[in-house]
Amino acid sequence: MRDQDWLNLIKKEKAIAILRAPNIKIATQLAKTTIEGGMSVLEVSWNSNDAAKLVEHLRAVFPHCTIGVGTILSVADLKNAIAAGAQFAFMPHTDFDLIAIAKRKEVPIIPGALTPTEIVTAWRAKASCVKVFPIQSVGYGEYLRAIKAPLREIPLIPTGGVTIENAHSLIQSGAIAVGIGGSLFTKDAIASENWSLIQQQIQTLRSRLQVV
């Protein structure tokens, strides 16, 4: 996927669902519920159980969706994720080697950064866009508005503490999309297998973002 195609997709969708589950069965159910709720861009945390198998499985079962990975920390992580079929990759930090590998493979790569210096460094290294992480530690929308003013050309995706309640304000503050997981897939809902509640939460998020 070319960077421009990725940017067009993510600007349209406005949210990436971050999947963390104890096993493939539950993760597949979460993916199904997410897609039925209206989201089509899903991120599998690479540090979750059987992440490679899950990516392969989701790519096969949901070919119309865009399935990628997060929490990529090393060259081995990235190469294995791409081999499994990951269509994009997020990492919590900025690593020039990982960015270069992803660019050669034409896989959108989104490194993590927080300060203006880190964000500009990641962007100049040819990141597809930049993950602002962890956004909850620096003031959410207020911080994003402050850094977006001088960094207007850099597409930003805040993650870390994003909720159904604050996602809208983050988009209004200049984010092109948000990464959201725990607020959608609560531990209680997963434990009780309350998929209808999760789907309702996803639909609520979608409706709030569509008015931005």
| Angstrom distance (rounded) from CA 186 to CA 198 | 8
Give the tens place of pLDDT for each residue, 24-50: 999 999 999 999 999 999 999 999 989
Give the tens place of pLDDT for each residue, 141-152: 999 999 999 999
- The pairing of beta strand 41-45 with beta strand 109-110: unpaired
The residues near 4 (Cβ < 8 Å, ≥ 6 apart) are none
Distances in whole angstroms, Cα of residue 106 to Cα of each of 89, 99, 128: 11, 10, 10
Calculate ∠ Cα 137-143-149, nearest 5°: 155
pLDDT at 22: 87
Question: Taking the domains of the chain in order of start, what are their residue ranges?
Answer: 3-207
> Can you say how many angstroms the Cα of residue 178 is from the centroid of all Cα atoms in its chain?
7
Give the tens place of pLDDT for each residue, 63-86: 999 999 999 999 999 999 999 999
| Angstrom distance (rounded) from CA 32 to CA 34 | 5
pLDDT at 153: 94
Contact predicate 157/130, CB 8 Å: yes
Cis peptide before 111 (omega within 30 of 0): no
Give the tens place of pLDDT for each residue, 89-112: 999 999 999 999 999 999 999 999
Res. 115: pLDDT tops 70: yes
Q: How confident is the model at residue 211 (pLDDT cuts 50, 70, 90)?
A: low
Q: Which CATH superfamily is domain 3-207 in?
A: Aldolase class I (3.20.20.70)
Rounding to the nearest 10 degrees, give the CA dihedral for residues 162, 169, 119, 8: 90
pLDDT (average), residues 180-198: 95
